[in-house]
Amino acid sequence: MSRSSRRFDHFSWPQVQEAASQDGSTLVWPFGACEQHGPHLPLVTDIFFAERVLAAVLERLPASFPVWMLPSQALGFSPEHQSFPGTLSLSASLVNQMVLEVGAQLAAMGFRRLVLFNAHGGQIGLLQVAARQLRAKCPEMAVLPCFLWSGVDALQALLPDGERERGLHAGLAETSLMLGLAPELVGSDRPQDGEHHDPALSITPPAGWSLEGNAPYAWLMEDLSKSGVIGDTRESSAELGKQLENALVAHWLNLFKSLMESQWPPANQSQGL
């Protein structure tokens, strides 16, 4: 069986059967969104990043690891961007149901692990909820919902604190990464906008509450930004983008290696408890 592409949908059905039966057979499902990313980045930004980083990670893993990429989920849950043209958002219940239905079919084929490899910050919680439900429904299959930008320690040295914490959308990090990967998709605007930048917004958020993290206020983009950007893109560059790409690939390569070398999930789950 050729594994060069590591694509699930390049298999024939007998190849799927063989792949699923391998010890630790693992599928990775890229999740993104079709949503506004300011006046300078394309709608495809999140799924583009998920696919590109994942492809780079998978091609660096030993060929013997049984891991393949599912077709991307390019539409996501994006109500916070819906007042901007171009955003196509699915309901939370639909995304949840899709994860449960597709996941249950993969578990029934015999796959042992499913990673939800998500690059859209607005659906982190939703995919965690869906993953927990899928695991409860199909305990023999591990489900791992992760977010591209989370837990990547090397970002501390690459991004200023303010931008790392609050440059949440189409800011320095995303603009630079896209300049590094596909500059032809990046427009010439370099907005500085969002929570702390836009003097045109009359109401500032309550002190102590935050965009994300400990006490978040479930923002809609129009609360915070007229451009659709939360962050400061002025220093963005392809050079920084390359450094971010290297950091992301190295981080996820480590995590996928440790997953593929592990015995997770516990074997007794397949017999029921």
Residues of the shown chain interacting with Zn ion in the complex, contacts defined by CB under 5 A: 45-46
Q: Residue 36 or residue 243: which is nearer to Zn ion going by CB?
A: 36
Q: Residue 31 or residue 111: which is nearer to Zn ion going by CB?
A: 31
Centre a 10 Å sphere on the Cβ of residue 36 and count the other Cβ atoms it contains. Answer: 25
DSSP state of 103: H
- H-assigned helices in 144-228: 155-158, 161-166, 172-181, 221-224
* Minimum distance, C-beta of residue 169 to Zn ion, in the bound complex (Å): 6
* Minimum distance, C-beta of residue 123 to Zn ion, in the bound complex (Å): 11
* Minimum distance, C-beta of residue 250 to Zn ion, in the bound complex (Å): 21
Q: Residue 241 or residue 265: which is nearer to Zn ion going by CB?
A: 241
* Minimum distance, C-beta of residue 174 to Zn ion, in the bound complex (Å): 5
* Minimum distance, C-beta of residue 154 to Zn ion, in the bound complex (Å): 19
**Cα–Cα separations (whole angstroms), residue 76 to 33, 79, 122, 193, 201:** 4, 9, 9, 24, 28
Q: Which residue is nearest to Zn ion (CB)?
A: 46
Q: Residue 134 or residue 229: which is nearer to Zn ion going by CB?
A: 229
| Bridge partners (DSSP) listed for residue 69 | 7, 28
Q: Residue 63 or residue 218: which is nearer to Zn ion going by CB?
A: 218
* Residue 93, H or E segment: helix 92-109
Q: Which residues contact 199 (CB under 8 A, 6 or more apart)?
A: none
DSSP E strands in the chain: the ranges are 26-31, 67-69, 113-118, 142-147, 192-193, 231-232
